[in-house]
């Protein structure tokens, strides 16, 4: 399983599962998205009001505090407004201590835990659209997405030997019954069975291709490492092979730090910077047009 590549200030990796096609978990990926959106709004003179999450638990309150402090640093909210917001967040925090909770009762939660498995987010394909940062779509993808085998795909490829004797349809039915969005009695006579089977076959084929490409890259790197005379290049190739195989290159518990996209450079790429500049000009022109219209309306009213 691929883990989030964010490194905490104490030097430890996050450790949460990374989303499919991304380098980070859901939390740190959205942290990056919020920072990029704030930089875009600052560069384009976009005065869109702050968006705070629903204050339903301690984590959401902490996220709201981070959002307000970041807006203060970027001069998007004044001292008076920031003080009012932080006071409201202090009230929300004190309400939690007094027992305010939007979760179901303890008994209901325990029963739900017994009957239903926890469902976690595995991908976030609409991230760029949700945060209006489509210009960063390529930068927020995993560095070598094609070379990485999804954890779920790897688990399905390593099927027990007893399943090899099952027919393709029987394997699909067994797989389908583990999915929460399909009924427990899902079978060949169920509506949409052929469509689901077709998508499952296509996913199996894609995973097989990814698996083959994954190990071809490892073999290619090993061959190059055996023929190179450059020690640094050899170390780099071997470390890459270990990473692709899911092994530790360094001593147990250690591995090299990857590039931290959370620490995004203040100056965006040239193409994005030009796009932001054009949008800022359009925003300024629209603001001037609105001002002229207001002045013209006031002049006509007084004349």
Tokens of 110: 């325990």
Tokens of 224: 């190059």
List the one residue out of 45, 47, 39 whose CA is nearest residue 281. 45
SS3 7: strand
Could you read off the pLDDT of 40-73 as tens digits, one per residue?
888 888 888 888 988 888 889 999 999 999 999 8
Q: What is the pLDDT of residue 152?
A: 45
* pLDDT band (50, 70, 90) for residue 3: confident
Cα–Cα dist 156/238, whole Å: 27
Distances (CA, A) of 36 to 21, 143, 183: 19, 18, 41
Q: What is the pLDDT of residue 249?
A: 56
Q: Give the start-to-end residue ranges of the domains of the chain.
A: 145-257
User: CB of 283 within 8 A of CB of 41?
Assistant: no
Considering the chain, what percentage of its residues have pLDDT values greater than 70? Answer: 80
Q: Which residues of 248-263 are buried (b: 16+ CB within 10 A; e: fewer)?
A: eeeeeeebeeeeebee
Q: What is the pLDDT of residue 150?
A: 46
User: CB of 124 within 8 A of CB of 137?
Assistant: no
Q: What is the pLDDT of residue 289?
A: 87
pLDDT of residue 158 exceeding 60: no
User: CB of 32 within 8 A of CB of 259?
Assistant: no
Cα–Cα dist 222/71, whole Å: 49
> Hunting for tokens 């050899």 — which residue is that?
234
Q: What is the pLDDT of residue 264?
A: 66
Reported as half-sphere exposure (CB side, CA atoms, 13 A), residue 105 has a value of: 2
Q: What is the pLDDT of residue 118?
A: 64
* Secondary structure tally for the chain: helices H, strands E: 10, 0
Q: How many other CB atoms sit within 10 Å of the CB of residue 167? A: 8
Could you read off the pLDDT of 207-246 as tens digits, one per residue?
888 888 888 888 888 888 888 888 888 888 887 777 777 6
Cα–Cα dist 119/112, whole Å: 12
List the one residue out of 152, 140, 141 whose CA is nearest residue 206. 152
Q: What is the mean pLDDT of the chain?
A: 79
Q: What is the pTM of this model?
A: 0.57
Cα–Cα dist 204/197, whole Å: 10
Could you read off the pLDDT of 85-105 as tens digits, one per residue?
999 999 999 988 887 777 666
User: CB of 61 within 8 A of CB of 47?
Assistant: no
Q: Which residues of 4-14 are buried (b: 16+ CB within 10 A; e: fewer)?
A: bbbeeeeeebb
Rounded average pLDDT over 188-217: 82
User: CB of 132 within 8 A of CB of 40?
Assistant: yes
Q: Please give the sequence-ordered ranges of beta strands (E in DSSP) within 102-256, or none if there are none.
A: none
Q: What is the pLDDT of residue 149?
A: 46
Tokens of 49: 């009001």
Could you read off the pLDDT of 274-283 as tens digits, one per residue?
888 888 888 8
Q: Pick the residue with more confidence: 267 or 249? A: 267
Could you read off the pLDDT of 4-48 as tens digits, one per residue?
888 888 888 888 888 888 889 999 999 999 988 888 888 888 888
Q: How many other CB atoms sit within 10 Å of the CB of residue 39? A: 20
Q: What is the pLDDT of residue 279?
A: 85
């Amino acid at each position: 399983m691929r883990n989030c590549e964010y490194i905490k200030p104490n030097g430890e990796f996050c450790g949460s599962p990374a989303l499919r096609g991304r380098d980070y978990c859901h939390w740190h990926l959205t942290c990056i998205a919020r920072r990029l959106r704030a930089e875009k709004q600052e560069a384009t003179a976009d005065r869109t009001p702050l968006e705070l999450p629903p204050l339903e638990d301690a984590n959401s309150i902490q996220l709201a505090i981070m959002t307000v402090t970041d807006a203060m640093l970027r001069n998007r909210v004044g001292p008076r407004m920031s003080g009012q917001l932080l006071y409201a967040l202090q009230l929300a925090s004190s309400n939690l201590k007094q027992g305010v909770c939007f979760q179901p009762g303890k008994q209901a939660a325990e029963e739900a835990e017994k009957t239903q498995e926890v469902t976690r987010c595995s991908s976030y394909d609409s991230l760029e659209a949700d945060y209006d940062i489509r210009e960063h779509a390529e930068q927020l993808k995993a560095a070598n997405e094609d070379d990485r085998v999804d954890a779920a795909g790897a688990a399905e490829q390593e099927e027990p030997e007893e399943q090899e004797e099952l027919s393709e349809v029987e394997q699909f039915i067994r797989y389908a019954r583990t999915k929460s969005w399909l009924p427990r009695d899902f079978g060949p006579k169920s509506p949409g069975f052929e469509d689901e089977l077709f998508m499952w076959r296509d996913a199996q084929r894609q995973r097989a291709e990814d698996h083959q490409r994954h190990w071809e890259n490892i073999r290619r790197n090993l061959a190059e490492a055996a023929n190179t005379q450059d020690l640094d290049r050899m170390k780099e190739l071997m470390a890459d092979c270990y990473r692709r195989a899911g092994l530790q290159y360094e001593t147990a518990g250690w591995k090299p730090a990857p590039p931290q996209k959370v620490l995004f450079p203040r100056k965006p790429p040239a193409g994005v910077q030009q796009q932001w500049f054009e949008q800022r000009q359009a925003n300024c022109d629209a603001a001037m047009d609105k001002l002229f219209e207001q002045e013209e309306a006031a002049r006509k009213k007084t004349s």
